[in-house]
Amino acid sequence: MPALVIFITIALSFYVYYKVKYVRSKKPAERKWISSKSTVALGLFIGLFGLNQFFLDGNKVTYIVGGIFVLLGALNIFSGFKAYKYYLPIAANEAKE
């Protein structure tokens, strides 16, 4: 499905963008905050890649691998979003100081 390929590419580019931004950052709380955003982008990439597997020729192995990728992507998104909410006020306080 072409739309999923575009979203997969966008998610991968956001992941690379946040990882480069992570390396350039010097403040520790800001680094963790940026890392949590990159975790969400990676989760989107993995989940969308797994979702794309469901639209290929269907055999059991394709569906199992796609399901595992969707599950891992959802777990990454959930943990990244939790870390994002936790580190956002800490990074904001660090930026004020």
Tens-place pLDDT, residues 39-55: 999 999 999 999 999 88
pLDDT at position 94, please? 87
Distance CA 83, CA 97 (A): 21
- pLDDT score of 2: 83
The CA distance from 81 to 40, in Å, is 6
Which stretches of the chain drop beneath a pLDDT of 50? none
Q: What is the pLDDT of residue 21?
A: 95
Residues 6+ apart with CB under 8 A from 91: 27, 29, 30, 32, 33
DSSP state letter for 82: H
Q: Which two tokens stand for residue 17?
A: 């963008």
Q: Please, how many CA atoms are within 13 Å of residue 76, restricted to the half-sphere of its CB? A: 20
> E strands, the chain, where?
none
Q: Which two tokens stand for residue 78?
A: 């959930």
Rg of the Cα atoms in the chain: 16
